[in-house]
Amino acid sequence: MSTPRTRTHAEAVRPAVVRRRVGPPVGRRELATVIGITVVFGLVLMLWAYLNPALHGPDELANVDAAIHLAMGQGWPPAGDLHYLQGLLGQNVPVHLPPALDRPDFATIVGDGSENALVNPMSQHPPTWFLVQAVVAHLLDFAGRRWDIVVLGMRLVDVAVMLPVPALVWASVRRATRSPRTALAATATLLAVPQLAQLGSSVSVWVPVITAGVLATWLAVRVLTGDRSWWTALALGGALAVGTAMMAGGAIAVPFALLAVVLARNGSGPLGRLLRALVVLAVPAVTTGWWYIALAVQTGTPQPDPFPAVSSTWPANESPAPTQFAGAFWNGMSNSFWGLLGRYEWPLSAVLVDSLTVIALAAVVWGLTRQSADRRTMLVAAAFPATALVVVLVRDWATYASHLGVTVNQGRFLFPSLAALLVVQACAWRALVDSETVRIRLARAAIVVPPLVAAAALALLYSGSYEELVFRISVAGRQTLIGSLPYGLRPLVAIAVAVAVVGLATAVLAWGAVGRSGPRSGTPAAIVGADDATGTRETVDTLPAPRPPGSSPAALPDPDPGPGPGPDHGDR
């Protein structure tokens, strides 16, 4: 039986656990910078949504048409049985829309609801997001309101759904690298992907899938770096369920999420990790799996093709050429990832696109060879975009082999994994660059260059939409622009000024934040600088308490190397 004296002695020699966050605490300047980047990101998307002519976003006509079908009270037909509304299809003009004041309301253009024979491919997806946009259309009284204003309202809903992306990217990279500087730089690079801004400011079912994928990345990185909370595992499954509720493409995140849970170092043991993986998988399977099971039973595939199967036979002595396909795949994926603006019409400079792609890939490959690289985090995070690439590669090769040609524009498949891509890039660059001075310079370059790319992309959008793809500002182009904007020029000027003012203030904040060096050893946590990465790779450190007077080091037990229950693990 223990006595008070023996219990007191045991408590004296029991190691105390000192818990630290992954990375330094978030300072006011860093938080203000993240908020500023988020606001700038949202304003840029708003500017894009207002400047880009209605129905001129990627696959926007199909998405709007699907939502209006539901808003009219129609049911959701099987894949291949949804057809474009004839009146809405007539608004999809190849060049300039008619002046805004001459555009009719939806009731006028829909008329008696007659349909065109052209198939709308959106029927291959669940109706979830189209129902949301149908509700938006009703809230805007779509029948009696000008059709382009209704489309603008739908676009702004998508912009709102995209708003969490910068903060989630920042949190993911910060958690993975324990470096505020790297996290801020990675978040700023979102503006260097104009296609993301274009897709995020259009009416598209991909928007909630992108946000769900970025959310899943943050939660998976938390699990991978030591968070063993059951709530986190449940939330990760919920993020996967949101993606799969929108489209089958949301399932691309599932292998990555399971890998992160199974390979997590969180002290829960193999059985604990397996149970958490089952929870993560069960949530989307139970909530959305029934839809795909029903489709598989009815059609033989969980995502039927809305178009009838058509194939061609290769001529004699000819066959699919892997080199030809590889060239088309490289160009198509890189262009449609970085920026293929309009309705996949206007690519960014080939020099810019190829340079960014080669630099990004080279950094990852080179970073993996460095001894200091966090290969575990890099490889697990890379599983997300790698899965997307494999899916696109298999689909496009099948198209090429059966149709004697292929047009690749599926860069959007990588956008749900964008946070994972940036985690891989961040880990690679931290492994490659040891010099504090060079790290500061690279971070500042990441703050300066992306806004320039975004500005160039907006100029390309303007020239393609209003200047016949000539880089100029002509009188005719200005008149076309003013006549085309839903509410005239003033909102455009106001948003542009807001982007400039908030962007400049945020750039100044970020420039100073990434330039602050981390503290020397022994610096109190209260004055941690902008780039203290001295924390361990796990969620907590366990350090023994000072030993009692008169005791020897050998008499003290070793601390438990695994993370114990605490606030970060949520075992309570």
Position 94 scores a pLDDT of: 76
97 - beta bridge partners? none
What confidence score (pLDDT) does residue 194 get?
A: 97
In the chain, % of residues over pLDDT 90: 71
Q: What is the spatial distance between Cα 331 and Cα 335, in angstroms, rounded to a whole number?
A: 6
pLDDT at 22: 65
User: Is there a contact between 212 and 239 (Cβ–Cβ < 8 Å)?
Assistant: yes
Helix (H, G, I), strand (E, B) or coil at 85: strand
Give the integer Cα–Cα distance in Å for 376 and 22. 16
Higher pLDDT, 568 or 504: 504
Does the pLDDT at position 448 exceed 90? yes
Q: How many residues does the chain have?
A: 572
The token pair at 110 is: 């829909």
pLDDT band of residue 53 (cuts 50, 70, 90) is very high
Q: What is the pLDDT of residues 517-526, one digit of tens each?
A: 654 433 443 3
- pTM, 2 dp: 0.88
Distance CA 181, CA 514 (A): 5
User: With 60 as the cut, is the pLDDT of residue 300 above it?
Assistant: yes
The pLDDT of residue 162 is above 90: yes
Per-residue model confidence (pLDDT) at position 531: 54
pLDDT tens digit sequence for 487-522 = 999 999 999 999 999 999 999 999 999 987 654 433
- Residue 75, SS3 per DSSP: coil
Label residue 137 by pLDDT band (50, 70, 90). Answer: very high
Contact 85, 113 (CB under 8 A): yes
More confident residue, 205 or 526: 205
- Is pLDDT at 558 greater than 60 in this prediction? no
**How is residue 489 written in tokens?**
């020029």
For 357-375, write each residue's pLDDT tens digit: 999 999 999 999 999 999 9
CB-based contact 49:159 (threshold 8 Å): yes
- At residue 315, the pLDDT reads 77
Mean per-residue pLDDT over the chain, rounded: 87
For 196, residues 6+ apart whose C-beta sits below 8 A from its C-beta are: 190, 210, 415, 418
CB-count exposure of residue 300 (10 Å: 0-12, 13-18, 19+):
exposed
Distances (CA, A) of 459 to 165, 465, 471, 520: 24, 10, 8, 45
pLDDT in tens, 115-127: 999 999 999 999 9
